Amino acid sequence: MTNPLLADWDTPFGIAPFDRISDEDFAPALKTALAEHRAEIDAIAGNPDAPSFANTVEALEASGQALDKVLSVFFTVAGADSNPTREALQRDFSPELAAHQSAISGNEALFARIAAVWEARDGLGLTDEQARVLMLTHRGFVRAGAALTGDAAKRMKEIKARLAVLGTQFTQNLLADERAWFMPLDESDLTGLPDFVIDTARAAGEEKGTDGPVVTLSRSLIVPFLQFSDRRDLREKAFRAWEARGANGGETDNREIAAETLALRQERAELLGYENFAAYKLETEMAKTPQAVRDLLMSVWKPAKAQADADAQVLTALMQKDGVNGPLEPWDWRYYAEKRRAAEHDLDEAALKPFFQLDRMIDAAFDCATRLFGLQFAPLDVPLYHPDCRAWEVTRDGKHVAVFIGDYFARGSKRSGAWCSAMRAQAKFPQDQAPVVINVCNFAKGDPALLSYDDARTLFHEFGHALHQMLSDVTYESVSGTSVARDFVELPSQLYEHWLDQPEVLQEFATHARTGEAMPREMLEKVLKAATFDMGFQTVEYIASALVDLEFHDGAAPTDPMARQAEVLDSISMPQAIRMRHATPQFAHVFAGDGYSSAYYSYMWSEVMDADAFAAFEEAGGAFDVERAKALETHILSTGGSRDPAELYTAFRGRLPGVEALLKGRGLAA
């Protein structure tokens, strides 16, 4: 019987046949797919014909399709619906895949062919996209260590294999800590909590197999608990558990993993001739240098900290009014900020939340995409990997564009956070393939499921990434969709958040869960007026994380990352009542893999562009200006990584942006 992961998928639009795939299929499928890919690579490297773009670079682009199929399914379920078997497989697969990639980048005959094509590039008559793919392929091999020989090449392979193991272990430790801790609540512990928080806590209790409500370390539950619970002792207990993820001692402690990861990254950079890992990593980003990153972050830090310090004084006064003496603590900030928001903006989260139904916010995200880009969304009835998932066919002018999958609810088997990935990326070579794109979130379940305003922003954010994948229109998969510089990839996602803030969108889709009535205009105005409320806090917790990440990698690797973290925070006078958004032991962006290492700043780099890009719509005909939407698709959403990002942004806007629009958008402008 053919392994379903390796068979031709005779499903609607070639979606993975999840109902036919079992955990026992993954290991044998991977073994077969790896062997097939190795044979393809050997054939390219050993081709007796003179190296050409077609027989070397295009041949590489066409290779590994079976492997892509296996891994797209495996990593989807390993991240969003893990179990002990899948976690064990991930631990086994990580070093195996790292060794496989190292063998490819270390294949001397293959690199010699790529180098020969690179040297002859000017006379090959390549299209702009082909020239870009050749440059990225050659650069990628060089940066992976292809030019290294002897002991250096051997050591590079060892480093990559070890980093793969450490990244997997970091992620699994964090998931284990989040899954293991919960705090039971009795009826007297529910004081101050609105119904939606109590309902979420009861649902979490059911999942944990307890009789009553519990608080877990899921952000969608612990944040509203910290906002509303009148019990300061329980807020402190919950916050300390949240802060301690990955740093509880024992088998799931991530601190030594972080130290070893940083040391190996530094060694890797030095092997390649770079002063440090930040210099290596940022060379291919828009920022280019650590100093450019530092300059951006510090230009925003100063006004953000000033705002946070002023806010802390107001919140401390509110706390003292309650008879609580002593300093404002991290478990107090959200609670008193919520009280302040209710007083100053007459905005009650409990009254607001019924207007943000998950299904209506999905409809809103779809409707904006229809108005901007002409996309249509029709539900698909296909087997998926979990009952919570749903799928839609995306069309335009009656033609199939993509399949979109949404997996929205928090559960113990899902890692925290929210993300977008392409189970199949758009490409035209070696054959036309339409994308299959998935958004994974961690919203609280309910009947109906209700979102906070921040949750709704997250939904729009991830859907912005999905649009970048779905509207991609390039030839080669290696430059498709979100295959762009890390500090450019957040531009489409953060830009799309702006459409949630449009009054006409909220008036149509922010409808009450019980009555179906539209959000009253008075409440709508309050929501929009309060959009930058507590922005000092949000900006400070983010920039602190970005600066720690940068300083970890810009210089000698710290032997004690926690001590280095403390030094960095002390050097910027971090407010006592605010913590980093992601402290080192739970900083999965940075330590689960190389993706955002030295690059957590990229959200803010992209925000500079997204604030300026949305201003282009406002300066034209408004948020739904057809010409601006067309330009956005033409120059950014459809082009993937086929051109330099600065060139793409300039083509859309006519110039590169300054930081002013960002400060104005965050309410931090002087």
Tokens describing residue 382: 């296909």
Distance CA 458, CA 456 (A): 5
Contact 596, 589 (CB under 8 A): yes
The end-to-end CA distance of the chain, in Å, is 68
Beta-bridge mates of residue 440 = 407, 419
Q: What is the CA radius of gyration of the chain?
A: 25
Can you list the pairs that 641-647 forms with residues at least 24 positions away whose Cβ atoms lie under 8 Å? Answer: 641/132, 641/136, 641/478, 641/479, 641/480, 641/483, 641/484, 641/485, 642/128, 642/129, 642/132, 642/133, 642/474, 642/476, 642/479, 643/128, 643/132, 645/286, 645/484, 645/485, 645/488, 646/286
Contact 393, 416 (CB under 8 A): no
Distance CA 568, CA 544 (A): 8
Please say if 338 is a catalytic residue: no
CA distances from 372 to 496, 499, 620, 637 (A): 11, 10, 14, 12
Kindly report the backbone phi and psi dihedral angles of residue 390, in degrees, each rounded to the nearest multiple of 5, phi listed first: -140, 160
What is the residue type of 444? A
Distance CA 483, CA 364 (A): 27
- CA torsion sign for 34, 39, 40, 44 is positive
Residue written as tokens 């050997």?
A: 42
Which one is catalytic: 40, 462, 551, 607? Answer: 462
Kindly report the backbone phi and psi dihedral angles of residue 147, in degrees, each rounded to the nearest multiple of 5, phi listed first: -85, -5
Tokens describing residue 14: 């070639």
- CA torsion sign for 540, 542, 546, 549 is positive
CA distances from 78 to 19, 207, 421 (A): 16, 19, 13
Q: Give the three-class secondary structure for 183.
A: strand
Q: What is the DSSP string of 364-419?
A: HHHHHHHHHH--EEEEE----SSTT-EEEEEEETTEEEEEEEEEEE--TTS-SS-E
Distance CA 472, CA 454 (A): 27
Distance CA 36, CA 46 (A): 15
Contact 221, 444 (CB under 8 A): yes
Distance CA 388, CA 580 (A): 32
How many degrees, rounded to 5, is the angle at CA 532 between CA 527 and CA 534? 110
Catalytic residues: 462
